[in-house]
Amino acid sequence: MAKKSGGGGIGLILLIGAIALLASIPKVVWITLAVVAAIGAAVYIFSQNKSKNKKEKPWNSAPLLSGVLPQASLAAESPKTALAEREVSEGQEPVSVYRDALAPRSHKVPTPPVGYGVATWIPRGQPVTIADTAIPGGLVYVGTTLRTPSGRPDPALLDPSKKVAARGEYADRHFMNYWPSYSDISPEARRAYLQWLAGGRQDPTADIGYVFLFFYGLERRVILDGSGKGEEAKAAQADRPAIAQELRRLLGIYGSQSGSFQRYATDLLTVVELNTYSDKLYAQPLPDFPDSYELPLYLRLALGQCAMDGVPVPAPLALAWVRRDPNIYKRTPATRCADQFEKLFHERYVALLNGGLVLSKNKTKLKFLYRAASAALAEYGEIKATFGDTPDVTVLTGPVNKLQEVVDVVTSELDAYSRFLGRSPEAAESLEGLLLLPANLWPADARRKLDALLARIAGGMVTMQLQEVAACLGTAQRLERATVTGLARALGGLQVGMEPDVLNGARTPKPEETVVLFSVPQGESASCSSAPYQSAALTVQLALAVALADGELGAEEFRHLRQNIEGWTHLTAAHQQRLRAHMRYLMAVPPSLTALKKKLEPLAAPAKEAIAKFMVTVAQADGAVSPAEIKMLEKVYKVLGVDPQKVFGDVHAAAATPIGTPSAQTASSVAPKPATAGFQLDAARIAALQHDTDKVSALLSNIFTEEPEEAQPPASAVVAVSEPEVHLPDAPLGLQGLDAAHTAFVHQLLSRPQWTREELLDLASDLDLMLDGALERVNEAAFDAHDGPLTEGDDPITINRDLLESQPT
């Protein structure tokens, strides 16, 4: 006990000594120690908070999309483990019991059902089952926890813990609100959504709300999961090709049904592909763009890069701009004839804009603002991409106006073909249709046949029947005027001309009639609308009419006429070539002096006399003038209004200037006499014919225009009016006072109840009548006889039914 008591006394003494020692420490030391302790505590608390904040801070956003936050770890933490002890019977060791079932040591609780817990992204092609519904396609989030900044579940999350009804129709429009969320929609809507997913997300009758609900998941995967640099971000970025393919598929099904979905899905597709864009997009093949109401960012960026590099916009890029810019107006041919429009646009774009459109660098910088469809994603703020100094050239009006001009030119060239397709879509590759197109737009097979025909011409000239030309192009059908005109136009685009010149009003040849195809010098036009050409052609027509009077064209006459053509230096090479072709055509289809008479009437007297003397020169080309030629010359003089008595004098005067070696002639030939003064018509004099009077200019613009004739009336019904001895039938319908031509005109009118104006133009031309004057004349006669007109309307022209019924059968 004493030992025990002594030990306690020593302890007490030591305690008292320690207290005395502490009391002896100066006050300033205590203050210093307190300050040091306070600073240490503050540093410890700050370091702990910093460590915690660093752990919870999200990853940096992607370089092109500022404001995008990656998926944060928002799952709720497990409650801390607590240990409780309870007393057991005496002699037993205490047993530890864990209240937290998530971390047992000696007892294991059952595993949670599949899909419960933190959300998992299901990759494409991996199946998952929810509410007994197998979803085969993947590309969805499954779990019970996928929070947003507001704390609400992400709307795309497929939560297996949510109730799902036994039935639900995804075509029902009453289950979904504007911003649907899987956690908030009704059990029936969840069933409908799962059924739509199970069916492959492809039924076009589905409510667009279900499509958006699925789209929200794709949007989160691209924008949030794919914006960081960790393993999850790399996995999300690896999903982008599959997501891009899925977006294109969905746009193909639902894009046309919802403009809203089309815009959101197109924008997300742009985000998916942004990281694949190069700094020279204009030099790469263009991808396929989904339909959109806005110009795709890809195109805007490529155009801006063109401006930055100072290079012309390539034709394919310009065409893509045209097709997708709502500010550029496209008429029907741009869509109805899409392939032809594309090919022709490339050609005209380069030609009209000197190689391509060069864009200036404007001040407006290009940027892309992503507008999130998901309400959860919108909580993360503005999502945008910028592209440095790259300009947005699409805000300029100048380039758009230039492209509009090219579009208008191309559309005009395709108008006729487009209208033809509108009437006969099944005949797109028929000759009738193809002839409405430039030849370089023809299909390959048709173009091969055309090339074979061009090879026959081979820089020269060929003569063949019109039906033979049609056979060369693979058709046995009768070529109507519109088809022949189209053929001439197509050949003209390939530097090949055709006689007769149907493009300038010449009569359409019949299938069995001759045409002449000839090459046109490169870079020149074969048009015969110029006054110099028409003057020369008129001279050639008269010359051939005289030269062929004896039934054939002699070699010397032919050579002399060709020499004159080559000597007319006021004509272009193309006009001289057309004149040679015209001469060959006239040899097969001799000209009629009666038909020429009306064309010659406006010429002034000196011009007519000069032409008359030239005809004599041509007749003298073979060394003698036959009686038949004398007779023809007299007719020419009469037609020209020149005294026929001058023929003999002019013949003798022309004989004074030898042209060729005279041949032996019979006594009936006119013996040439020496003349004190002859005449020689040189190139300058022929060229001067066009300047004789103002009337000549007016004449030359219409001199070769002949009204077309698409439908030829039966031979028995045609009344010839060129010769006075033709017997004419009695006046039809009692219409008195009509001459032979107008009487024949009325007979033809009465053969049908209705005519197109073009058909009557043909008929009037055949009868040497002006259509409007002829209609006025016969209607006056009808008023006199029946108190009413014979015809009504302008196009079509209808025959008065009452008068028609009164005609005896």
Topology classification of domain 715-806: Aspartate Aminotransferase, domain 1 (3.90.1150)
Confidence check: pLDDT of 689 > 60: no
Q: What percent of the chain has pLDDT over 90?
A: 28
Confidence check: pLDDT of 440 > 60: yes
pLDDT for 79 equals 31
Distance CA 252, CA 808 (A): 67
Q: What would the mean pLDDT of 249-256 be, rounded to a whole number?
A: 93
Work out the pLDDT band at 322, boundaries 50, 70, 90.
Answer: very high
pLDDT for 608 equals 80
pLDDT for 465 equals 92
Nearest C-alpha neighbor of 344 from the set 411, 405, 298: 411
Residue bearing the bigger pLDDT, 709 or 406: 406
Q: Which residues contact 42 (CB under 8 A, 6 or more apart)?
A: none
The token pair that represents 374 in the structure block: 């998901």
Count the helix, strand and coil residues of the chain and give each as a percent rounded to the nearest 5: 50, 10, 40
pLDDT for 593 equals 65
Q: What would the mean pLDDT of 453-473 be, rounded to a whole number?
A: 89
Q: Is the dihedral of CA 253, 258, 261, 266 positive or negative?
A: positive
Q: Which residues contact 684 (CB under 8 A, 6 or more apart)?
A: none
Q: Is 327 helix (H, G, I), strand (E, B) or coil?
A: coil
CA distances from 501 to 297, 356, 510 (A): 51, 36, 14
Give the other-Cβ count within 10 Å of 16's Cβ.
10
pLDDT for 550 equals 63
3-state secondary structure 620-666: HHHCCCCHHHHHHHHHHHHHHCCCCCHHHHHHHHHHCCCCCCCCCCC
Q: Which residues contact 449 (CB under 8 A, 6 or more apart)?
A: 472, 473, 474
> Where on the phi/psi map is residue 363: left (φ > 0), alpha (ψ -120 to 50), or beta?
alpha
Which amino acid makes up residue 63? P
Helix (H) or strand (E) holding 307: helix 297-309
Whether omega for the bond prior to residue 113 falls within 30 degrees of 0, making it cis, is no
Work out the pLDDT band at 678, boundaries 50, 70, 90.
Answer: very low
Confidence check: pLDDT of 691 > 60: no
- 62-71, 297-306, 581-590: least confidently modelled range: 62-71
CA angle 158, 159, 162 (to 5 degrees): 125
- The DSSP result for 107-131, as a single string, is --PPPPPTT-SB-EEE-TT--EEET
Which amino acid makes up residue 36? V
pLDDT for 541 equals 82
Work out the pLDDT band at 179, boundaries 50, 70, 90.
Answer: confident
pLDDT for 739 equals 78
Confidence check: pLDDT of 292 > 80: no
pLDDT for 621 equals 60
Confidence check: pLDDT of 520 > 60: yes
The model's pTM is 0.55
pLDDT for 17 equals 66
Residue bearing the bigger pLDDT, 526 or 453: 453
Reported as half-sphere exposure (CB side, CA atoms, 13 A), residue 232 has a value of: 18
Helix (H) or strand (E) holding 188: helix 187-198
Work out the pLDDT band at 752, boundaries 50, 70, 90.
Answer: low
Report the range out of 461-465, 620-624, 735-739, 779-783 with the highest average pLDDT: 461-465
Confidence check: pLDDT of 684 > 80: no
3-state secondary structure 377-414: HHCCCCEEEEEEEEECHHHCCHHHHHHHHHHHHHHHHH
Give the start-to-end residue ranges of the domains of the chain.
Answer: 63-69+110-295+366-382, 443-519, 531-700, 715-806
pLDDT for 728 equals 37
Confidence check: pLDDT of 112 > 60: no
Confidence check: pLDDT of 727 > 50: no
CB 459 within 8 A of CB 519: yes
Residue 347 CB-density burial (10 A; 0-12 exposed, 13-18 middle, 19+ buried)? middle
Residue bearing the bigger pLDDT, 625 or 385: 385
Q: In what order do the strands lie in the sheet containing 461-465?
A: 461-465, 514-519, 496-499
Nearest C-alpha neighbor of 468 from the set 482, 487, 494: 487
Distance of CA 713 to the CA centre of its chain: 42
pLDDT for 725 equals 33
Distance CA 766, CA 721 (A): 9
Distance CA 658, CA 621 (A): 9
pLDDT digits (tens, 9 = 90+) for 329-381: 999 999 999 999 999 999 999 999 999 999 999 888 898 888 899 988 888 88
Q: What would the mean pLDDT of 644-656 be, rounded to a whole number?
A: 81
Pairing status of strand 754-755 against strand 514-519: unpaired
DSSP 764: H
Confidence check: pLDDT of 114 > 70: no
CB 289 within 8 A of CB 279: no
Residue 93 CB-density burial (10 A; 0-12 exposed, 13-18 middle, 19+ buried)? exposed
CB 762 within 8 A of CB 776: no
Distance CA 514, CA 498 (A): 11
The token pair that represents 214 in the structure block: 């699925």
Phi, psi of 413 (to 5 degrees): -70, -25
CB 366 within 8 A of CB 392: yes
Distance CA 262, CA 607 (A): 74
CA distances from 729 to 715, 800, 803 (A): 15, 21, 18
Distance of CA 22 to the CA centre of its chain: 99
- 176-190, 250-264, 566-580, 682-696: least confidently modelled range: 682-696
Distance CA 184, CA 190 (A): 9
pLDDT digits (tens, 9 = 90+) for 8-41: 566 667 667 666 666 666 766 667 777 677 777 7
Q: Which residues contact 296 (CB under 8 A, 6 or more apart)?
A: 266, 270, 289, 324
pLDDT for 11 equals 62
Confidence check: pLDDT of 682 > 60: no
Confidence check: pLDDT of 506 > 60: yes
Work out the pLDDT band at 5, boundaries 50, 70, 90.
Answer: very low
The token pair that represents 338 in the structure block: 């899409």
Phi, psi of 600 (to 5 degrees): -90, -20
Confidence check: pLDDT of 163 > 60: yes
DSSP 733: G
> What's the whole-number average pLDDT of the chain?
76
pLDDT for 549 equals 64
pLDDT digits (tens, 9 = 90+) for 208-239: 999 999 999 999 999 999 887 888 889 999 99
Confidence check: pLDDT of 66 > 60: no
pLDDT for 802 equals 67
Confidence check: pLDDT of 671 > 60: no
Residue bearing the bigger pLDDT, 535 or 362: 362
Residue bearing the bigger pLDDT, 462 or 736: 462
Which amino acid makes up residue 719? V
Q: What would the mean pLDDT of 728-749 be, rounded to a whole number?
A: 68
Beta bridge partners of 797: 755
